[in-house]
Structure 1
Amino acid sequence: MQNNNPLKGINYFFKGFSLIIQPGIRQWVLIPLLINIFLFSLLIYLGWLQFQTLIEIITVQLQTWLPNWIIKMIDWLILPLFIMIALIAVFFTFTFLANLISAPFNGLLATAVEKYLTKKEPEIPYQPWYKLMSSMIWSPIEKLLYYLRWVIILIILSLIPPINIISPILWFIFGAWMVSLEYAAASGENHGHKAPAIRQILAKKRMLVLGFGSGILVGMLIPVVNFLIMPVAVAGATCMWVYEFVEK
């Protein structure tokens, strides 16, 4: 079925790259990105100060029983060592912190993308404040319970031969589904849908959605590209939502 083609889902992921640079959209990418760059620059600077202090303390201790040429070699290696540590730290933590900081901007980014594609803003249904508060509290819990339920099932299947032979494929499919749900949430919520309803809507074209999620998972493994995964995925998911799931 052409409309449920996983390759079409992957194409929506790639569309996200071109969407995030469009006027009216890019500011919702740049603002959280600049915040991230500022925070990481500050953390690296503070880390360098602490690192220097630590090295000075160690050097003083070593001077009593090591020759000067070894001490000088240690001083010469300090900067390359710190750069290597900083790069490793940034690589493993940037995506997590970027997602945390960018999350409040996802709704605005999804709104901007939908407005760019349809030339009109999504009509967000009005909700009383107490329903909004209830949703803010319950929604993360509901998502976590849904995630844990499937994780437990997959762990059990991974322990049962010969099913465990295909468990890596099952985990990949599960990961593709979960990241698709995560990044399509902003578009769904802009149309008044909660997590269970979003899952039901996306399940109508599950193969297409899994193709989209597969693109995200692969992109997460590519250095530099993974820094932009969140805005690209949100933009791509919004494009997919507009063209595949909004009733015409």
Structure 2
Amino acid sequence: MIGDFITGFSYIPRGLALILRPRLRRYVILPVLINVVLFISAFVLLLERLGGWLDGLLPSSLAWLSWLILPLLFLALSLGVFYTFGLVANLIASPFSALLAEQIELQMGGQPPSAGAGLKQTLRSTAIGVMTQLSALAYQLVRLLPLLLLFLVPVVNVLATSVLIAFSAWMLALGYLSTPMGNHDMSFRAVHETCRGRRALALGLGTGLLLLTWIPLLNLLALPVGTAAATALWTEKLASEHR
């Protein structure tokens, strides 16, 4: 299990190396621009609202523990804001991410259905990819909202931070793997079942993606790097299970 987790995590630097290949750069430009706009928007929102949010989450009876609780709440709020904007970025950029995933898989020796099949099949695979991302978004929001309610409960909101981190890593893995698997006409249910069967591998990928979103400047590349990493993982570790 630990070996699979490390393997999944190792695909993040692989993804960064892949998007720097000259033949892939033109497929990276639009996802990067979308990611930059949304991450800057998330950062501005966080700076403007952070103080008020933290004050509302910390009751006066626990003010003496502010040195411990406030950093944890800051971490959770930052994660929640960037995570939510990341979901929106994935949805908006899904047609471009699908093209990037297709080209990466071709270069790695895979054969996505739309490759060489004409414009009609390409559009069909892109549409399926968008629907898969919408299903992933709905699945995540249904489970995220009850979790966020825990942050309204004093003391419990501190413990909820660790749960939110694990949840976010899992959801990021599902969201990004939906792109290359959507290119193969697979539904979100198939993505979910695949990740459940290789849980440690998926969590390793998701944890790496989560850390990437916290690293200044590199987080602006999170969308194409995540797409490339998930596509490489799919091609090398998971595709053979669906043949």
Give the TM-score range, shorter chain: 0.5 to 0.7
CA contact (8 A) 2:15 2:225 kept: yes
CA contact (8 A) 1:124 1:192 kept: no
- For the aligned residue pairs, the C-alpha RMSD in angstroms reads 3.9
- Structure 1 window deviating more from structure 2 (133-142 vs 102-111): it is 133-142
Aligned-pair CA distance for 1:165:
5.6
Judged with a 3 Å threshold, the aligned counterparts in structure 2 of structure 1 residues 115 and 144 are, in CA distance, closer, same or farther, namely closer
Q: Quote the residue 2:199 is aligned against.
A: 206
Distance in 2 (alpha carbons) for counterparts of 1:123 and 1:2: 33
Number of corresponding residues: 192
SS at match of 2:24: coil
CA contact (8 A) 2:98 2:126 kept: no
Identity %: 31
TM-score (norm 2): 0.64
Aligned-pair CA distance for 1:160:
7.9
Distance in 2 (alpha carbons) for counterparts of 1:117 and 1:134: 23
Distance in 2 (alpha carbons) for counterparts of 1:34 and 1:181: 23
Match of 2:113 among 113, 116, 123: 123
Judged with a 3 Å threshold, the aligned counterparts in structure 2 of structure 1 residues 199 and 224 are, in CA distance, closer, same or farther, namely same
Aligned-pair CA distance for 1:142:
3.5
Q: How does 1:17-56 map to 2 (within 5 A)?
A: 17-33=16-32
Match of 1:105 among 91, 96, 101: 96
Q: Quote the residue 1:74 is aligned against.
A: none
Aligned-pair CA distance for 1:24:
2.6
> Stretches of 4+ moved more than 4 A in 1?
34-37, 94-101, 124-128, 131-141, 155-165
CA-to-aligned-CA distance 1:130-155 (integer Å, 9 cap, x gap): x9899688656533432233224434
Judged with a 3 Å threshold, the aligned counterparts in structure 2 of structure 1 residues 132 and 244 are, in CA distance, closer, same or farther, namely closer
Q: Quote the residue 2:60 is aligned against.
A: none
CA-to-aligned-CA distance 1:3-39 (integer Å, 9 cap, x gap): 6x211111011110101112432220134446888x8
Matched, 1:175 2:168: yes
**1:107 maps to amino acid:** A
TM-score (norm 1): 0.63
CA contact (8 A) 1:157 1:163 kept: yes
**1:13 maps to amino acid:** I
Larger Rg, first or second structure (1 or 2): 1
Aligned-pair CA distance for 1:217:
1.1
Task: Flag the structure with more relative contact order, 1 or 2, with Cα contacts below 8 A and sequence separation at least 6.
Answer: 1
CA contact (8 A) 1:36 1:101 kept: no
SS at match of 1:26: helix
Matched, 1:218 2:188: no
Distance in 1 (alpha carbons) for counterparts of 2:160 and 2:190: 28
Distance in 1 (alpha carbons) for counterparts of 2:87 and 2:10: 25
SS at match of 2:108: helix
**1:115 maps to amino acid:** L
Q: How does 1:62-141 map to 2 (within 5 A)?
A: 102-118=93-109, 120-124=110-114, 139=132
Distance in 2 (alpha carbons) for counterparts of 1:101 and 1:175: 19
Distance in 2 (alpha carbons) for counterparts of 1:231 and 1:133: 16
CA contact (8 A) 2:172 2:206 kept: yes
- Structure 1 window deviating more from structure 2 (236-245 vs 27-36): it is 27-36
Distance in 2 (alpha carbons) for counterparts of 1:184 and 1:151: 19
SS at match of 1:115: helix
**2:108 maps to amino acid:** L
Distance in 1 (alpha carbons) for counterparts of 2:108 and 2:129: 28
Aligned-pair CA distance for 1:103:
3.0
Distance in 2 (alpha carbons) for counterparts of 1:161 and 1:34: 39
Q: How does 1:150-161 map to 2 (within 5 A)?
A: 150-155=143-148
